[in-house]
Chains A and B, each alone.
Chain A
Amino acid sequence: MNKTLFGALAASSILFAPTAGATQFEVTITNLTNAIHFTPFLVAAHPAGNNLFVAGQPASANLQAMAEGGDVSGLLADVNGLGATVVENPAGGLLAPASSTTFTMNTDGTTNDRLSLVAMLLPTNDGFAGLNAVEIPTAPGVYTFDVPAYDAGTEANDETVNGGGMPGVAGIPADPSGLGGTGGTGAAGADTNGNVHIHRGSLGDTDPNGGISDLDSRVHRWLNPVIRVTLSVQ
């Protein structure tokens, strides 16, 4: 009798399942850069019509906290409020230069057909990489997205590594590469564009003990794209 009941339940759950196609897919995030680390990624499959950020619009306070200090707790609450399918910190810490992390997501039984992910670039003041609500493909295949670096527009790019990671606190929280310097006098004032925009890149200098920046122009710059995201749909 139990067996029959189980069968009936299974049949009804199939009947009422959303009609979305692929519900399980594999995600690989590759840090393409030479000397930039990424703070722990927040990855969310969520319903269409929602965005963690919009280029040309001001950053939300939660996006600012992620972009300036790597703190995704506010954005996590945002996506949980949407009923999103979430993967937090897939790399188990920082994603190092030229490294990858791979994980599986399953959106079975949801309407979460868009994918977003964000993480801060270190060392930067408020640079982040963001994949913005791309449609999750349903046909089997491997899909590649090259992702640029954005500037949250919320903090001056002074390129001073001083531990400043809280929103509104000047400075860069850390340089995990260990290749930077100290004593920089400040590379730049406030952004001209205070909205989210494509990051203009870091300046750096070649003086480890002074100059305008604590970053090294020979290693801490980048050209886009900074991460590559591949979705593998079976």
Chain B
Amino acid sequence: MTIKPSNVLALALSGAVLAGCSSDNDFVPPPPPPPPAMATFEVTVDNLTNAQPLSPVAVIAHATGYHVFSVGSAATAGLEEQAEGGDNMALLAEAGADGDVRATASGAGPIGPGGTETITIEVLESDVATLRISTSSMLVNTNDAIAALDAVDVSTLAAGTSMTWRTIAYDAGTEANTEEAAHIPGPAGGGEGFNAARDDIADRVSMHAGVVGQDDGFATSGLNNQHRFDNPVARVRITRID
């Protein structure tokens, strides 16, 4: 997990300055200020699909100015990398560079169908008043489908309480839904993941229309009826721990 509040950096710097002075016996350092109060949230993601593993989940805690995606807007480069290939590194780096983002975290690995993972994220207590949480993960047996939750309001969650959302599948709009094995990075295809070319019918995020599959007359599809899905595709429970 990465926390990037500016005063943690300030504390680290002041610690370095004090360390530099510690050999001066005449100087009695003041007691260090108490650590800032933190708030901890657990984000539990359940995969509700039949045969769509979810790529490692990106969890982003932020203020109101950040969105991991918006229907009708083009996906960011980081979201495209995750939506096409399952790798969340660029998405998290992009978020980390956003002034409205307070912390980021990644799931440890893919979440298989029926599987679950709990990811912990910590922010400054002083950031809770405007706190939103976004999550995103790829349905890996697709071209560019994501299970994502944008900017849900967790500012009123009391410690020990939780809220649950069901996420629907979105199409990142960055890759044509060829369903060819060569373009499906998940186990159903073993093909290419991220490719910077944007060749979907329109370069913007929308609802995913589902996969067709070879059993439903799409002869060149590498997918079959097992890979079909319907909404919701995942369940996200966010619990405030303290």
A-to-B contact residues, CB < 8 Å: 30, 32-35, 97-100, 177, 179, 204-206, 211, 217-226, 228
For A177, the chain B residues whose CB sits under 8 A away are: 201
Contact of A99 among B72, B205, B210, B212 (CB under 8 A): B72
Please tell me the size bucket of the interface on B: 20 to 34
- Which residues of B191-207 are within 8 A (CB) of A? 201-202, 204-207
**Beta-carbon contact of A217 and B205 below 8 Å:** no
Q: Which of B27-35, B86-94, B111-119, B214-222 contacts A (4 or more CB under 8 A)?
A: B214-222
Q: Told that A205-B217, A206-B212, A226-B207 touch, could you supply 6 new A-B pairs with CB distance under 8 A?
A: A34-B201, A35-B201, A206-B219, A217-B217, A217-B218, A218-B218
Chain B residues, Cβ within 8 Å of A219:
177, 201, 209
Which A residues are in CB contact (< 8 Å) with B173? 98
Chain B residues, Cβ within 8 Å of A204: 212
B residues neighboring A (CB under 8 Å): 71-72, 168-169, 171, 173, 177, 179, 201-202, 204-210, 212, 216-219, 230-231
Chain A residues with CB below 8 A from B231, complex form: 223-225
Which residues in A have their C-beta under 8 angstroms from that of B205? 98
Residues in A whose Cβ lies below 8 Å from that of B219 = 206
Decide if B210 touches A98 in the complex (CB within 8 Å): no
Chain B residues with CB below 8 A from A225, complex form: 168, 207, 231
Q: Are A98 and B209 in contact (CB under 8 A)?
A: no
Judge whether A223 and B206 touch: CB under 8 Å.
no
Q: Is B71 a contact of A30 with CB atoms below 8 Å? A: yes
Shortest A198–chain B CB gap in Å is 12
A-B contact pairs, 25 of them (CB 8 A): A32-B206, A32-B207, A33-B207, A34-B201, A35-B201, A97-B202, A98-B204, A100-B71, A177-B201, A204-B212, A206-B212, A206-B218, A206-B219, A217-B218, A218-B179, A219-B201, A219-B209, A220-B209, A221-B210, A222-B210, A223-B169, A223-B207, A225-B168, A226-B207, A228-B71
Q: Which residue of B lies closest to A32 (CB)?
A: B207
B171 nearest in chain A by CB position: A34
Q: By the criterion CB–CB under 8 Å, are A222 and B218 in contact?
A: no
Q: Are A217 and B216 in contact (CB under 8 A)?
A: yes
The docked-state distance in angstroms from the alpha carbon of A213 to that of B43 is 44
Q: Is the CB of B168 within 8 A of A223?
A: yes
Chain A residues whose CB sits within 8 angstroms of the CB of B207 once the complex forms: 32-34, 222-223, 225-226
